[in-house]
Amino acid sequence: MHSKAADSGFSVEASDLSPEKARDVSRTARDGVCLVPQPSASPDDPLNWSLTKKNVIFGTVCLASFAGVASVNVHQLAYIRQASYYHKSPVELSYSIAAGVAGQMGGPLLFVPLSSIIGRSSLIFWSLFGSLASNIWAPLMTGPNDYIPFVMSRMLAGLFGSVPPILATGLIMDLYFLHQRGKAFTVLEVSLLAGAVAAPVFGGFIADTKPWPNVFWWLVAVIAVSIPLAFFFLEETAFRRNEESEPLPQRPSSFMSNRIATFFPGTAVVPRTTFAHVANRYITPLKIGLSPVTMIVGFFVVCIYGFAVGLGIVVSIFLQTPEMVGGYGFTPNQNAEFNFSQWAGLVLCQICGAFLNDRVPLSISRRRGGAWHLEYRLYPIFLVAAASPIGFGIFGAGIEYHLHYMVLALGTFLVIFGACYSTPISVNYIIECFKTSPLEVAVIMNVYRQILALALPFFLFPWEGAVSAGWLFGMMAFFCVFATMLLGVVVWKGPALRRWNLEKDATEDGIKIISSDRSSDTSLNN
């Protein structure tokens, strides 16, 4: 695992660089982009691993993340028919999704600090068993009195399924350089929203011809495949980059010994920790979440992502309600076909993210002297800022005036594209504001992402009754516009806002990331 980046023996830790003064660093990738952070000379440094190895590890976690998110709403297009089993209304069945979202919010707060005891890879591995069990439990709850146990299974599915997506953010920071993170966060976000979008589609096709319990079994198979993949490919990615860090235990070189040390239970591959350190990891997300810059960006995520998830939760109710009472009379199969509009949004997001999320910030840095400033990361959002507000407006008008369902599909496409594109950039920015605490940032940003999705099923229909469907989604559009304006304040006054952070942390702000010497050696990891 030797790379040209390691040959130089040159190591600079980003936290050692002054935020106020840009410094040149010697190792560069293509196009004169400096490698930040600089890789060490050690072959154990994850930055020195081959790009193939990095991507296999990351891809395994993305698959586990997809399955974790899919666990929450896999039955979304089936609960119209499922309601008759429990003698409940479709709205009451939608509370089972809210229970899953509650699990997604609470899981990281509960489990992520434990990664400092047993390691990230072990926590991901064992959480998959919890996801597997909860998704086997759910389809067995077919009796008329099984509504509460079914809802509990959905909460546990969210609880365990939330672990891989959160820990994936730490892997991105460990495995990839600054100029690669934008694409990596977009891939992660697409895998998450693919779980939220694809699971109901598959479930809808199945529920149209089979009893509703069958919608869970394909997901059980995906999780069952993820478990051996995690066992064979996941590795602990922590690396000691400065003398202040705790020394890491020597990891076994033989495959089976390494697997045993990593997963059973994992304490052999992470530094020993103290109760005080673990307790502090429960407190740090709160301090980060209450910092001004996080609150502003978090409000943006609440609006852009939360309203999009809320739309996804209720759209099946609008579509599958009989036409005689104002709905569209869709079957689960037709509803699943409608959801391909969301897939189109995901595909466009992936394309735009791959081409823009790193290129735009680096281009701005190059035009302004080559120094990196954290707020450059947010600029790509403004290229698509109008997508979500316009999408909500179109969807609301379609529901209000009962327009053709393709109008609703267009609105849904724009909303999903805007949410999927903007959210990973926002999370990436906040993580880079608190560079040494990526998991804690991911925990609190997950709360911002999910809190509105959790609450909406309980008040969305009363809200609609008070203002009409058109104004319901129209108000969502105005909230998104206001949140985007606040994000502009962060771009304008970001450094001043960051000085008020409750959790002080090192950043890569001010580093010279664009080298004037295009002839420098290139890393294998471009």
User: How do residues 313-364 score in pLDDT, each as one tens digit?
Assistant: 778 888 888 888 888 988 878 888 898 899 899 999 989 998 999 999 999 9
What pLDDT was estimated at residue 244?
Answer: 62
What pLDDT was estimated at residue 17?
Answer: 41
Which of the four pLDDT bands, split at 50, 70 and 90, describes residue 523?
very low
Answer whether residue 509 shows pLDDT above 80: yes
Highest mean pLDDT of the ranges 204-213, 319-328, 423-432:
423-432
Of 124-128, 386-390, 502-506, minimum mean pLDDT range: 502-506
What pLDDT was estimated at residue 29?
Answer: 59
What pLDDT was estimated at residue 507?
Answer: 80
Q: For residue 252, is the peptide bond before it cis, meaning its omega torsion is within 30 degrees of 0? A: no
Q: How many CA atoms lie within 13 A of 150 on its CB side?
A: 26
Distances (CA, A) of 476 to 248, 305, 308: 48, 11, 9
Residue in the structure block whose two tokens are 């998110």: 69
User: How do residues 111-120 score in pLDDT, each as one tens digit?
Assistant: 989 998 999 9
Please give the average per-residue pLDDT across 435-455, as a whole number: 90
**What is the Cα–Cα distance from 309 to 158, expressed in whole angstroms?**
15
What pLDDT was estimated at residue 30?
Answer: 59
Distances (CA, A) of 496 to 16, 137, 376: 21, 50, 15
Give the DSSP letter string of 437-462: -HHHHHHHHHHHHHHHHHHHHHHHHH
Answer whether residue 521 shows pLDDT above 60: no
Please check whether residue 480 is in contact with residue 311, taking contact to mean a CB–CB distance below 8 angstroms: no
Question: What is the longest distance spanned by two Cα atoms in the chain?
Answer: 73
Answer whether residue 4 shows pLDDT above 80: no
Please check whether residue 224 is in contact with residue 135, taking contact to mean a CB–CB distance below 8 angstroms: no
What pLDDT was estimated at residue 517?
Answer: 52
Domain layout of the chain by residue ranges: 49-498
Please give the average per-residue pLDDT across 303-308, as a whole number: 91
Answer whether residue 391 shows pLDDT above 80: yes
Which residue in 282, 239, 306, 386 sits closest to 98, CA to CA? 306
Residue 176 is given by DSSP the state S
153 vs 514: which has the higher pLDDT: 153
Look at phi and psi of residue 473 and say left if phi exceeds 0, alpha if psi is from -120 to 50, else beta: alpha
Give the DSSP letter string of 186-246: HHHHHHHHHHHHHHHHHHHHHHTTS-GGGGGHHHHHHHHHHHHHHHHH--------STTSP
Beta-bridge partner residues of 34:
28
Please check whether residue 122 is in contact with residue 262, taking contact to mean a CB–CB distance below 8 angstroms: yes
pTM for the complete prediction? 0.85
Which of the four pLDDT bands, split at 50, 70 and 90, describes residue 40?
confident
Which of the four pLDDT bands, split at 50, 70 and 90, describes residue 516?
low
Which residue intervals of 112-208 are DSSP H helices? 115-118, 120-137, 147-161, 163-175, 178-207
For the chain, what percent of residues have pLDDT higher than 70?
90
Residue in the structure block whose two tokens are 């293509």: 30
Please check whether residue 69 is in contact with residue 196, taking contact to mean a CB–CB distance below 8 angstroms: yes
3-state secondary structure of 371: strand
26 vs 370: which has the higher pLDDT: 370
Measured on CA atoms in the order 498, 503, 508, 511, is the torsion positive or negative?
positive
Please give the average per-residue pLDDT across 227-232, as a whole number: 97
User: How do residues 255-300 score in pLDDT, each as one tens digit?
Assistant: 999 999 999 988 888 888 888 888 888 999 999 999 999 999 999 9
**What is the Cα–Cα distance from 101 to 518, expressed in whole angstroms?**
48
User: How do residues 147-164 score in pLDDT, each as one tens digit?
Assistant: 999 999 999 999 999 999
Residue in the structure block whose two tokens are 């008070």: 466
What pLDDT was estimated at residue 454?
Answer: 82
Which of the four pLDDT bands, split at 50, 70 and 90, describes residue 441?
very high
- Per-chain mean pLDDT for the chain: 86
User: How do residues 179-197 score in pLDDT, each as one tens digit?
Assistant: 899 999 999 988 998 888 8
Answer whether residue 508 shows pLDDT above 50: yes
What pLDDT was estimated at residue 32?
Answer: 67
User: How do residues 69-107 score in pLDDT, each as one tens digit?
Assistant: 999 989 887 877 788 888 888 778 878 888 998 999 999
CATH of segment(s) 49-498: 1.20.1250.20
User: How do residues 242-251 score in pLDDT, each as one tens digit?
Assistant: 666 667 788 8
